[in-house]
Amino acid sequence: MKNVISRRELLGGAAAAGLSLSPMTRMLMAEEPERMFKLGACDWSIGKYRTAEAFEVAKAIGLDGVEVSFGRPGKNDLRDEAVRKQFQEAAKKSEVEICSLAMGVLNGVPYATSDEAERWVEECVEVMPKVGVKVVLMAFFAKGDIRGKRDLQDAVIKRLKKVAPKAEKAGVILGVESWLNAEDHLRIIGEVDSPAVKIYYDVANMTYSEYDVPKEIRRIGRERICQIHMKENGCLLGKGKVDFPAVRDAINEIEYDGWLIIEGAVEPGRGIKDCYVDNRKYLENLFAKK
């Protein structure tokens, strides 16, 4: 994990500085596994869609970042400089990063066919450097679904080719998240042929589509995956259909070192915060350094 101090580093630094840690501090540190990845959550998954309050919730959960929604113009709009400042101040105060943006709005206003959606993506590319964000999730579900629709996939490719040079210049990445299998995802990435367009991989969506997720992760590879959703439907991570140990092995094999973003994974009858503390602990233990 990048920019996260491990127990070993903290202990070593204390020793180098001639400091000592109390037995209780050492015991508590020993009980917490060292993280290999930064962990974040979608703002909508922790009940704070498109609000700066998401950062304090993420802090209370023990997360490193929040994936913030970017949608149509309106309330809490990151196109607005004052709103950007509000979000950046909240992130700084909580010491929780804006790990990525997400355009779930494209599920209702399809990128393949809507000129409005195409304009919003271009606006998002302009906003991302202003908030210091490198990745945006472009969603292709519901009305925006392109699975099995070659004509719509080709329309997406055409539009991505237009916006990709702007994304490259801005130093940002457009992450395609869809129901497509690895082959179709790779066709889109290959046709666009830009380092600014990659795949945003969701392990639950792919599992419930009955794809071989570990095999797909290995086939797509590190260089073409910009971020990963660690997700489950209707239960906590590790208690559903997704084979997370196999996912971990594939992620480690391709040497992916980006963010892991928790989505969904809420148990019926329990509060979001409690569920997400459990989800965080599960991933920390799953990916703990040996």
Residues 6+ apart with CB under 8 A from 23: none
Upper half-sphere CA count for residue 92 (Cβ side, 13 Å): 8
Residues 6+ apart with CB under 8 A from 267: 234, 235, 236, 239, 275
In which residue ranges of the chain is pLDDT below 70? Answer: 1-35, 290
pLDDT of residue 290: 63
Whether this model's pTM surpasses 0.85:
yes
Among the listed residues 91, 163, 94, 161, the one whose alpha carbon sits nearest the alpha carbon of residue 133: 91
pLDDT of residue 35: 56
Q: Is there a contact between 104 and 139 (Cβ–Cβ < 8 Å)?
A: yes
Q: Is there a contact between 135 and 226 (Cβ–Cβ < 8 Å)?
A: yes
pLDDT of residue 6: 43
User: Residue 235's beta-bridge partner residues?
Assistant: none
Q: How many degrees, rounded to 5, is the angle at CA 122 between CA 46 and CA 256?
A: 55
**pLDDT tens figures, 12-42:** 444 444 445 555 444 444 455 565 799 999 9
Among the listed residues 105, 102, 46, 111, the one whose alpha carbon sits nearest the alpha carbon of residue 69: 102
Look up residue 144 and give its DSSP letter.
G
pLDDT of residue 12: 45
Which residue bears the tokens 């979608």? 42
- Which domains, ranges and CATH numbers included, belong to the chain? 1-32 (no CATH), 34-286 (3.20.20.150)
Q: Is there a contact between 39 and 284 (Cβ–Cβ < 8 Å)?
A: yes
30: left (phi over 0), alpha (psi -120 to 50) or beta: alpha
pLDDT of residue 36: 76
